[in-house]
Amino acid sequence: MSAESLSAIVVLLGLLGIAVVGDLRSHRIPNLLILLGLGLGLAGQVHAAGFAGLGNGVLGMLIGFTVFIPMYALGGMAAGDVKLMAMVGTFLTPHDALSAALLSLIAGGVWGMSIVLIRGQLKQTLQRYWLVLTAQAYFAPTADEVAGKPFPYSVAILSGTLVSLFWQPLGQ
């Protein structure tokens, strides 16, 4: 790993750390943080590889955005989460951006299920989604349900990004 790529990873993880703290405190990810990250990610790509790097950064951004936008459209996450994943993509190659986005979705499922289990609401949650599937209609969660509480998805994005950056399949 080159010093340039290590610096980019440190900056990316620092930005993600700030996003997580803000998301946990206020359930918001500031647009200024996203814009700063987009600029730094694209600038780093240009510095590392010139015009090709810019192409990689823009494509990585589009991949992160495209993978997450359906979840926003379905009401499963907030716009800040989509923008944060797009920002992450600017720091990565297109392949790594896709990996980070998919692993972040998996991490979101794991974190979400963990919260449901910790709060002892597995049966209630399964019943709720069974009703949604069988009635093919949306039922708003009750006040005491985990499904009705804000979910700091930036934690899942950080987790998925870390796994995509540092996990290498055995034998490679």
pLDDT at 4 over 70: yes
The 10s digit of each residue's pLDDT in 102-120 is 999 999 999 999 999 999 9
Residue 171 placed within a domain: no
Q: What was the pLDDT predicted at 169?
A: 57
Global pTM value = 0.89
* Beta carbons of 33 and 22 less than 8 angstroms apart: yes
- Count of C-beta atoms within a 10 Å radius of residue 160: 24
| Burial of 50 per CB tally in 10 Å (0-12, 13-18, 19+) | exposed
Residue 148 placed within a domain: yes
Residue 121 placed within a domain: yes
Give the CA distances from residue 154 to residues 26, 50, 127, 133, 171, in Å, rounded to whole numbers and listed in that order.
12, 30, 27, 28, 31
Average pLDDT over residues 134-149: 79
Average pLDDT over residues 41-46: 97
The larger pLDDT score, comparing residue 48 to residue 128, is at: 48
Q: What was the pLDDT predicted at 113?
A: 93
pLDDT at 59 over 90: yes
* Beta carbons of 29 and 154 less than 8 angstroms apart: yes
pLDDT at 158 over 80: yes
Q: What is the mean pLDDT of the chain?
A: 91
- Number of structural domains (the chain) is 1
Residue 8 placed within a domain: yes
The 10s digit of each residue's pLDDT in 127-138 is 887 877 888 777
What domain range is 15 assigned to? 3-166
pLDDT at 51 over 90: yes
Q: What was the pLDDT predicted at 170?
A: 45
Q: Percentage of residues in the chain with pLDDT exceeding 70?
A: 96
pLDDT at 172 over 50: no
Give the CA distances from residue 71 to residues 44, 67, 87, in Å, rounded to whole numbers and listed in that order.
29, 8, 17
Chain-centroid distance of CA 118 in Å reads 22
Residue 172 placed within a domain: no
